[in-house]
Amino acid sequence: MGKSRGLRTFAMILGPGVLLSACDGPQSALSATGADAIAMEGLFWVMLIGATLIWILINGLIYYVTRVYTGSLSPRLAHGLIVGGGIIFPLVVVTSLLVYGLSAMPEQRAMGDGVKLRITGEQWWWRVEYWPEGADPANPPVAVSANEIRLPAGSRAEIELTAAKVIHSFWIPALGGKLDMFPGRVTRMSLKPLSVGVYRGQCAEFCGQSHALMALNAVVMEPGDFDAWLKAEAQDAAPPKGYAATRGAEIFAQQGCGACHAVRGTPARGGVGPDLTHLGGRTSLAAGILPMDREALMKWILSPASLKPGARMPGYDHLEREDLSALATYLEGLK
């Protein structure tokens, strides 16, 4: 991310470049763009070089004394090795590392100064609520969303985490470290993204059958764009446009989707499943496992449990194909 194609091609030609590009990815902690993740990526490379050198030294020595020079060396040297290698050397290296690591902790978990989010881990999706900068979190959130978070670049967002039934863990590797989400308890963290982009995250604490299928995207936007987006996200759902979407809205109501899902501005107020008010505006479907398009929506509505084992949403395989398509059109239109 943020590296130009030309630079990357150039890097591919060079050996280490191949290695570096092998480290990239939408969910890679080695493609860090958040302040906290960048600090840890830097620390990792330093530690990797140090660890490699130490490993070569120790094992080289073992190789030397068992294979190359099998004669007897002086006991004084051997005792020196125990004191030097066992106490003095690790004391110096480990103490420096520890002091750096401990000093880095307050900054990594500093209080946020921008937008505030509360994310609730559900089996197996994410409930997301927003409060704009300066708002009192005792008030109701200005916007409720699911399975995607959006953050403004350049400021530190405060994030509260909790869970509904079981423990989950919230993690966007490119932005920063993870934190667990507990039922009956609120934990807090903060993230400071620096570059615009879409970064993938995933639940990192085993949370049951479909733990593997609980992902989300973090969309980092320019601050101005973010403010506009949040304003729009706080609005009610746009009314359906066109025949198919209108028909889809009717089916949505008929099938009782509103018992579990909310679409603000319509009678659908359910709180069990994800809020769908601006579903079509999200970058992925079903907690990061499907693209956001009509095809995928149809597939999902038809049989959620075959895509996400154990999911609580029932399948709608009794719907006519046309109705299914209309329903998907309606949902995709909720931007």
Partner 1 sequence: MTSDATHPSRAGRGNPEPIGTFPPTEEMLSEPVPEELARAQEERLRKTWETPKGWRYWTAVNNSEVGVWYSLTAFGFMLLAGVLALLMRVQLAVPDNDFLSAETFNQFFTMHGSAMMFLFAVPMFEAVAILILPAFLAARDMPFPRLSAFGFWCFVIGGVFVMGSVLFGVAPNSGWFMYPPLATKAEGLGSDIWLLGLSFIEVASIAAAVELIVGVLKCRPPGMRINVMPLYAWYVLVVGGMILFAFPPLIAGDFLFEMERSFDWPFFDPERGGDPMLWQHLFWIFGHPEVYIIFLPSIAIAAMIVPTAARRPMVGYSWIVLSAVGTGFLSFGLWVHHMFTTGLPNISLGFFSAASEAVVIPTGIQIFAFVATLMVGRVRMSLPMLWIAGALAIFTAGGLTGIMVAIAPFDWQVHDTYFIVAHLHYTLFGGMVFPVMAGVYYFYPFIRKQTMSERLGRWSFWLTFVGFNVTFLPMHLTGLKGMPRRVFTYPGDIGWDWLNMISTIGSFIVAAGILVFAWDLIRPKGHQPTPPRNPWDAGTLEWTHDVPAENWGTRSIPYVTSRYPLWDQPKLQERLDAGRYYLPDAAEGLRETMITSVIDARPLQVLRVTGPSWITLWAAAFTGGAFIVPTFHIYWPAILSAILAVACIIWWLWTSTAQIPEAEHKDVGLGLKLPIYVSGPEAPGWWGVWITMLGDSTAFASLVFGVFFYWTADRSFPPEGYPFVDMGLALGGAVLLSASWAVNLWVRGTARRQSAMQALALAMLLAIGGAAALIASAALPGLDPTAHVYPAIMWALIVWIVAHVSLGVIMQGYCLAGFAFGRITARYDAPLWNTCLYWHFLALQVLVAVAMTALLPRVL
Partner 2 sequence: MARRQWTSGEADRAEFREERRSLFRITVAPTIWALHFAASYAVAGLTCARLADDGPDVVLMRLVIGAGTLVALGLIVWLGWRSWQQWDASDEGRRLDDQPTSRDRHRFLGHAAFLLSIVSFIGVIYTVLPVLLIGSCL
For residue 124, say if its preceding peptide bond is cis, omega within 30 degrees of 0.
yes
Question: Smallest gap, in angstroms, from Cβ of residue 334 to partner 2?
Answer: 38
Of 91 and 228, CB closest to partner 1: 91
Would you count residue 111 as binding partner 1 (CB under 8 A)? no
Of 8, 9, 59, 235, which lies in the binding site for partner 1, with binding defined by CB under 8 A? Answer: 59
- Which of the choices partner 1, partner 2, none does residue 200 contact, using the CB cut-off of 5 to 8 A by kind? partner 1
Would you count residue 258 as binding partner 1 (CB under 8 A)? no
Of 7 and 98, CB closest to partner 2: 98
Residues 19-48 touching partner 1, rule: CB under 8 A, are: 22-30, 36-37, 39-40, 43-44, 47
Would you count residue 12 as binding partner 1 (CB under 8 A)? no
Identify any residues that bridge with 46 across adjacent strands, giving them in sequence order: none
Of 46 and 99, CB closest to partner 2: 99
Would you count residue 121 as binding partner 1 (CB under 8 A)? no
Of 111 and 138, CB closest to partner 2: 111
Report yes or no: 201 and 171 within 8 Å, Cβ to Cβ. Answer: yes
- Which of the choices partner 2, partner 1, none does residue 36 contact, using the CB cut-off of 5 to 8 A by kind? partner 1
Would you count residue 110 as binding partner 2 (CB under 8 A)? yes
Cα separation, 20 vs 250, in Å, equals: 52
Instruction: Work out the end-to-end distance of the chain between its first and last CA atoms, rounded to an integer number of angstroms.
Output: 26
Cα separation, 196 vs 213, in Å, equals: 25
Of 102, 184, 224, 320, which lies in the binding site for partner 2, with binding defined by CB under 8 A? Answer: 102
Cα separation, 227 vs 205, in Å, equals: 32
Would you count residue 109 as binding partner 2 (CB under 8 A)? yes
Cα separation, 326 vs 321, in Å, equals: 9
What is the Cα gyration radius of the chain?
25
- What backbone phi and psi angles, to 5 degrees, belong to 48? -65, -45
Cα separation, 314 vs 316, in Å, equals: 7
Residues whose CB is less than 8 angstroms from the CB of residue 63 and which lie 6 or more positions away in sequence, other chains included: none
Question: Smallest gap, in angstroms, from Cβ of residue 181 to partner 2?
Answer: 18
Identify any residues that bridge with 180 across adjacent strands, giving them in sequence order: 169
Of the ranges 163-171, 255-263, 271-279, 322-330, which one interacts with partner 1 (CB under 8 A)?
A: 163-171
Residue identified by tokens 């999902």 is 300
Among 304, 280, 312, 248, which Cα is nearest to 148's? 280
Question: Smallest gap, in angstroms, from Cβ of residue 198 to partner 1?
Answer: 12
Would you count residue 155 as binding partner 1 (CB under 8 A)? no
Question: Smallest gap, in angstroms, from Cβ of residue 159 to partner 2?
Answer: 13
Of 7, 12, 99, 228, which lies in the binding site for partner 2, with binding defined by CB under 8 A? Answer: 99
Of the ranges 88-96, 129-137, 232-240, 246-254, which one interacts with partner 1 (CB under 8 A)?
A: 88-96
Distance of CA 70 to the CA centre of its chain: 53
Four-residue CA torsion sign, 98, 102, 103, 104: positive
Q: Kindly give the interhelix angle for 294-302 and 321-332, rounded to the nearest 10 degrees.
A: 120
Would you count residue 185 as binding partner 1 (CB under 8 A)? yes
Of 180 and 225, CB closest to partner 1: 180
